[in-house]
Structure 1
Amino acid sequence: MATTRRGRPPGGPERWNALVQAAYRCLAEGGFERLRMRDVAAQVGIDHSSIHHHFPTKQDLVIAVVDHTTRQFWSTTPPEGSAVERLRGHLATLRQKIVGQPELHIVLRELDLRARRDPELREIIAGREEGWRNSLRTLLTDAAAAGALAPGVDPATGAELVIATVKGASLASDRADDVLELLERLLIRT
């Protein structure tokens, strides 16, 4: 945690980011059961009443964590290359993230589970996932137009398959390489 010269916790945007990081760590380490505003504030070195200046409610803090985690996926698809090369690059990056950043996927799965019981969070997560879904549909549509998509794969269904497979593979990170490699072989005509 960054501190000022007097040893005080950072203020402004730095404090906001520190609180989001602390909440992210709480979710990664113990799920929603361990996410307490008081504990998040303590990790940052502020009084628990001060956290409400940045996040009036726990839900506001959770939404900030959703944004923090989903932002880490914004540039996972290479901007150049054929649709197949870009899809392969995207899946390779996702494999690396699942294996190299397991806490990221733990937090995402915690958020997904919570969203099943929380309509507001479900809507927020669905909105954040829509960009990924649209990007995948476009990649798969372009691959199909180039004759590179496996026969019978509908781009919209293929996009849902990728999303579901990535989420599932993130729960068993020791098998993520094999699972996503198989997914690639199922989607792309060789």
Structure 2
Amino acid sequence: MAEERRQELVEAAFRCISATGFEGLRLRAVAAEVGIDHSTLHHHFPTKKDLIAAVVEYATGRLRLPGSTLAEHLNLLGRAMREQPELFVVLREIDLRALREPEIRAIVDRGEMGWRHALATRTAPEHAALIIAVVKGLTLIPDDPQDVLSRLENLLEGT
């Protein structure tokens, strides 16, 4: 039950950031959306930063495909950009906040370290920064990202 409530809070916070941006994230509103008191939310997430870390984990978890090749991973990302743009809205909102807030930067950095590690199993480790930069940039462009991701894959694989 506690884990289900925690997940409801994470998903409510995710929807809030997606709809109103990071600046619009209000813990009282998140708690109210799942039908609990604001003070009860703190039993699940002692701080707002703890909730944000859980939101980042939730969003990035939806972008994982364990055991996949680089092509499969890039295809997953391209499909997610088209079908689930709210994932990237939330992640970019948090990235922007991380520029001004070191604690949020630490949360983002932890997520990116995991991503870099996962990419290192799919391609040369020095390519991770390029892939991350391209993916983040593509999420700011409303066009279909698949062509760019395919060209990136070809470039990295030397074809």
Q: Would you say same fold, with TM above 0.5? A: yes
Q: 2:113 aligns with which of 127, 130, 139?
A: 130
The TM-score, its normalising length taken from structure 2, stands at 0.90
Q: Is this contact kept in 1: 2:27–2:48, CA < 8 A? A: yes
Instruction: Please state if 1:32 is matched with 2:44.
Output: no
> Counterpart of 1:103 in structure 2: which amino acid?
E
Q: Secondary structure of 2:139's match?
A: helix
Which residue does 1:189 correspond to in 2?
158
Matches within 5 A, 1:55-134: 55-75=45-65, 78=68, 86-134=69-117
Q: Distance in 1 between matches of 2:67 and 2:143?
A: 23
Gaps in structure 2 of 5+ consecutive residues: none
For residues 117 and 31 of structure 2, the distance between their equivalents in structure 1, rounded to whole angstroms, comes to: 37
Question: 1:27–1:35: 8 Å Cα contact kept in structure 2?
Answer: yes
By relative contact order (CA 8 Å, sep 6+), the higher-ranking structure is 2
TM-score of the two chains, using structure 1 as the length reference? 0.77
Q: Deviations over 1:110-159 (max 9, x none)?
A: 11111111112212221221122123234223xxxxxxxxxxxxx41x22
2:3 to 3, 6, 13: 13
* Amino acid corresponding to residue 133 of structure 1 in structure 2: R
Question: Which 4+ residue blocks in structure 1 deviate beyond 4 angstroms?
Answer: none
| Offset of residue 180 of structure 1 | 1.2
C-alpha distance in structure 2 between counterparts of 1:135 and 1:59, whole Å: 25
> How far apart, in 2, do the equivalents of 1:53 and 1:68 lie?
19
Change (3 A) 1:73 1:103: same
- In the comparison of the two structures, how many residue pairs are matched? 159
Q: Please point out which of 160, 163, 167 is paired with 2:132.
A: 163
